[in-house]
Amino acid sequence: MTRHLKMDEPATNRLLDKLPSRLTGAPMDRPDGPLKVSGTATYAHEWQLDGKVFGVLARAPVSKGKLVRIDKSAIENLPGVLGVFSEERFLRNPAQGMANEAPEQGVSEISYFGQPIALVVAETFEQARHGAHRLELVCEAASDGVFDPEANNIAPEKPEDDQLDQGDLDKAMAEAAYTVDSTYRTPSHNSAAMEPHCAIASWEGDQLTLYASYQMIKFNVNELADSVGIEPEKVRIVSPYVGGGFGSKLGIAPEAVSAAIAAKELGRPVCVTLTRQQVFENVMRRSESRQRLRLAADKDGKLTGLGHECRVSNLPGESFHEPVLQATHFIYGGDNRRLGMEVARLNRMCAGSVRAPGEAIGMQVLENAMDELAHTSGIDPVELRKRNIPDAHPEEGTPYSSRPFAEALDEGAKRFGWNKRNPKPGQQREGEWLIGMGMAAAARVNILMESKARVILKEDGKAIVETDMTDIGTGTYAILTQVCADMLGLEPENIETRLGDSNFPKASGSGGSFGAASSGSSVYLACLDIRAELARRLGCEESELQLDSGQARGGSKSGSLTGLLAGEAIEAEGHIEPGETKEKVKQATYGSYFAEVAVNAVTGETRVRRMLGVFGAGRILNRKTATSQCYGGMTWGIGMALHEAMEFDMRDGHVVNNDLAEYHIPVNLDVPQLDVVLLEERDDWASPIQAKGLGELGLCGAGAAITNAIFNATGVRVYDYPATLDKILDGLPELDMV
């Protein structure tokens, strides 16, 4: 049995609100939690396979040029070394994320420093690492590498589908009562997932099994099959636990392809685990950006013009560019609009999706500009944003689906005590600390993806959920169990949710915040089908059926679930597909951030004292895991505001700070108790379970609340992220130190 739904119409039935069991939304503990804290959840590197050997990538010593030859003489007699593998297939599908074309070039063409060239395989990891260090890669270096995205000699590409010119922005700027014209810069970021990338490849005949750590299994199967040159049916990927992805595990990567090729030739399972330095140098970075914001407003602060023009970068030939303008298109009004995108081609590691690609830095900077406008016009920042909420999409004219934006702004202001803020900068002081408050709006596009799941109601009245959906730390095991529990009237203990195996029905995967709503909908649909069958057996209408604690009731009939099953399992597949609702309305998620900071008047150091996020993302499937996503997002916001930046050597484009000692992410002491409020919302247009994406919303502007608070505390506006001490110190007011 299959229940298929194409999302062409809003789902107004809201069945999940009518069921007797209301586990969906509750802060249920993760079923996988005990396994994870006891070390018994098997992560990619931990699979024990007979005869397993280890591979370590050897990487390009030049930033641009050609590989002439590989000299193996230095490692041929090293103990334990089993072979060196290098070929074009390594890079057919580098880790670029979704829907990208593979570049034409193979490994003989080197386009960035540290590019994987060869895999050295040995009996132990240490032997392989030694071999990889000793292996000589003879390269011919080209002298025309480009490393600086703002170098004068760059002719950036302008992707056609990411330009907008509407009305006359220059005229709007000239006639406006208030204007802002500011240029901001944001640095490259690393996803810094806790689990380094790993793949173990194992062949049985022509059948390849990959134990790995990936976010999007059904795509990863195709990518791996394509890279290795076999049929997708011959590939199985197993990825039940993923120690964080944040985009870095969206696409198949060199560790998987090289492991598969080496394992085939050696006839033994090959494990390739990246070191932290390799994660920094070979996994995608978020592009740095230069963003020029122009705002034109009338005397009431209403936008008449909005300009957002940016430059990002990537390797030559890569189709991805950071979609910085994504939320700028729809969050605020303003008839005269110019949105532009430029891509500089650099010989730096690949740029790709890093958590909340686009909005993470686009909203951050837009919200700084809005703060500038609030300051210039003397209008309160919360009020200014509310005045600019458009009635319809300012470019397409479409209406919005559920949009609790004003509510998030008001609720946040009320809870945070925003009315205590002095709008004049530099007025509040505690000893040598200057105190300030700032706020920013949050917005992120909402996406529904095709997704399938199987639900089996077994003869004993317990259920199994199977889908190749992944849980990248987000709580998928929990939420799918909860939806199934409510739909079938079962205790969560009686449901086993199995994920991350390509043998299961093909899901959306985890990316773009679409995982929970998409895979949750597929489980919902499978359960609908099972409910229909149970209603038929009981002899009642589907709409009358009540399932609760193993009992079925409907019309005047009742019976036990096991009685209705009569010794036979019922199996159903749910299949959700996006449809016309994505065109008929603009679907997005919204929120607000409020932060209080203390900036040290002597050192320029910023400490975040309090931070609140208020978010609306449709139906919340699990308040605990959803809140954790927001904590994580806001913590990224603190990192983006104050700490995080990948530094590139401008001579050869290599990553200078390639580990967690030198790439500074916020640690416990940098993060105060964060407060998260999830608004009660149902978006009927988004999915049959009225849920939208949440995973990335927590950092779609969060950093701006902090830098806006720094301005309120000190009067210093930081245009070049992150707001480190050196950028604040010079602008600080003279203080009488007691």
Return the active site residues: 696
Give the helix, strand, coil percentages of the chain, each rounded to 5: 30, 25, 45
> Look-up: residue for tokens 């199977």?
466
Interface residue with ligand MOS among 247, 301, 475, 722 (CB under 6 A) is: 247
- Structural element, H or E, at residue 713: helix 702-714
**Closer to ligand MOS at the Cβ: 354 or 706?**
354
- Structural element, H or E, at residue 219: helix 217-228
Compute how many residues bind ligand MOS; rule: CB under 6 A: 11
Residue 376, CA distances (Å) to 274, 373, 718 in order: 49, 5, 16
| Nearest residue to 586 (alpha-carbon basis) of 412, 390, 384 | 390
Q: Is 353 in the site for ligand MOS (CB under 6 A)?
A: yes
x/- binding map, residues 200-229, to ligand MOS, per CB under 6 A? ---------------x--------------
**CB of residue 479 to ligand MOS, shortest distance in Å:** 17
| Nearest residue to 25 (alpha-carbon basis) of 498, 615, 486 | 486
Closest residue to ligand MOS in the complex (CB): 247
SS3 590: strand
Whether 735 and 435 have beta carbons less than 8 Å apart is answered as: no
Interface residue with ligand MOS among 112, 113, 178, 246 (CB under 6 A) is: 246
What is the number of other CB atoms lying within 10 angstroms of the CB of residue 4?
13
Interacting stretch for ligand MOS, rule CB under 6 A, among 354-362, 533-541, 568-576, 608-616? 354-362
Give CA angle at 628 (626, 629), nearest 5°: 65
**Closer to ligand MOS at the Cβ: 248 or 600?**
248
Q: Is 511 in the site for ligand MOS (CB under 6 A)?
A: yes
**CB of residue 247 to ligand MOS, shortest distance in Å:** 3
**Closer to ligand MOS at the Cβ: 135 or 360?**
360
Interacting stretch for ligand MOS, rule CB under 6 A, among 32-40, 66-74, 353-361, 545-553? 353-361
**Closer to ligand MOS at the Cβ: 354 or 413?**
354
Residue 325, CA distances (Å) to 93, 181, 239, 255, 704 in order: 26, 17, 33, 32, 16
| Nearest residue to 223 (alpha-carbon basis) of 235, 212, 211, 207 | 235
Residue type, 484: C
Structure tokens at 103: 């570049």
Q: Is 357 in the site for ligand MOS (CB under 6 A)?
A: yes
**CB of residue 96 to ligand MOS, shortest distance in Å:** 12
**Closer to ligand MOS at the Cβ: 315 or 552?**
315
Taking each helix axis from N to C end, the angle separating 359-377 and 623-642, rounded to the nearest 10 degrees, works out to: 70
Q: Is 245 in the site for ligand MOS (CB under 6 A)?
A: yes
**CB of residue 573 to ligand MOS, shortest distance in Å:** 25
**CB of residue 368 to ligand MOS, shortest distance in Å:** 22
**Closer to ligand MOS at the Cβ: 689 or 700?**
700
| Strand residue runs (E) in 550-627 | 551-554, 557-560, 570-578, 588-600, 606-616
**CB of residue 692 to ligand MOS, shortest distance in Å:** 15
Q: Quick one: residue 575, left, alpha or beta (phi over 0 = left, psi -120 to 50 = alpha)?
A: beta
Q: Where are the alpha helices (DSSP H) in 42-154?
A: 125-134
Interacting stretch for ligand MOS, rule CB under 6 A, among 50-58, 67-75, 239-247, 457-465? 239-247
Interacting stretch for ligand MOS, rule CB under 6 A, among 351-359, 552-560, 592-600, 642-650? 351-359
Interacting stretch for ligand MOS, rule CB under 6 A, among 116-124, 205-213, 240-248, 577-585? 240-248
| Contacting ligand MOS within 388-447 (CB under 6 A) | none
Q: Is 243 in the site for ligand MOS (CB under 6 A)?
A: no
**CB of residue 191 to ligand MOS, shortest distance in Å:** 8
Q: Is the dihedral of CA 173, 174, 176, 179 positive or negative?
A: positive
Is the N-terminal amide bond of 232 cis, ω within 30° of 0?
A: no
Burial code (b: 16+ CB inside 10 Å, e: under 16) for 145-176 equals bbbebeeeebeeeeeeebebeeeebeebbeeb
Rounded to whole angstroms, the Cα distance separating 508 from 215 reads: 9
| Contacting ligand MOS within 561-580 (CB under 6 A) | none
**Closer to ligand MOS at the Cβ: 245 or 604?**
245
**Closer to ligand MOS at the Cβ: 489 or 511?**
511
**Closer to ligand MOS at the Cβ: 351 or 485?**
351
Could you give the count of Cα atoms lying within 13 Å of 490 in the half-sphere of its Cβ?
A: 27
**Closer to ligand MOS at the Cβ: 403 or 444?**
444
**Closer to ligand MOS at the Cβ: 214 or 721?**
214
Q: Count of residues for the chain?
A: 738
Q: Is 250 in the site for ligand MOS (CB under 6 A)?
A: yes
**CB of residue 354 to ligand MOS, shortest distance in Å:** 6
Q: Is 475 in the site for ligand MOS (CB under 6 A)?
A: no
Interacting stretch for ligand MOS, rule CB under 6 A, among 174-182, 241-249, 264-272, 518-526? 241-249
Environment class of 39 (CB within 10 Å of its CB; exposed 0-12, middle 13-18, buried 19+): exposed
Q: Is 508 in the site for ligand MOS (CB under 6 A)?
A: no
**CB of residue 695 to ligand MOS, shortest distance in Å:** 8
Rounded to whole angstroms, the Cα distance separating 545 from 551 reads: 10
**CB of residue 146 to ligand MOS, shortest distance in Å:** 26
**CB of residue 362 to ligand MOS, shortest distance in Å:** 14
Interacting stretch for ligand MOS, rule CB under 6 A, among 243-251, 389-397, 481-489, 535-543? 243-251
Q: Is 67 in the site for ligand MOS (CB under 6 A)?
A: no
Burial code (b: 16+ CB inside 10 Å, e: under 16) for 630-659 equals bbbbbbbbbbbbbbbbbebeeebbbbebbe
Q: Quick one: residue 294, left, alpha or beta (phi over 0 = left, psi -120 to 50 = alpha)?
A: beta
Residues that bind ligand MOS (CB under 6 A): 215, 245-247, 250, 353-355, 357, 511-512
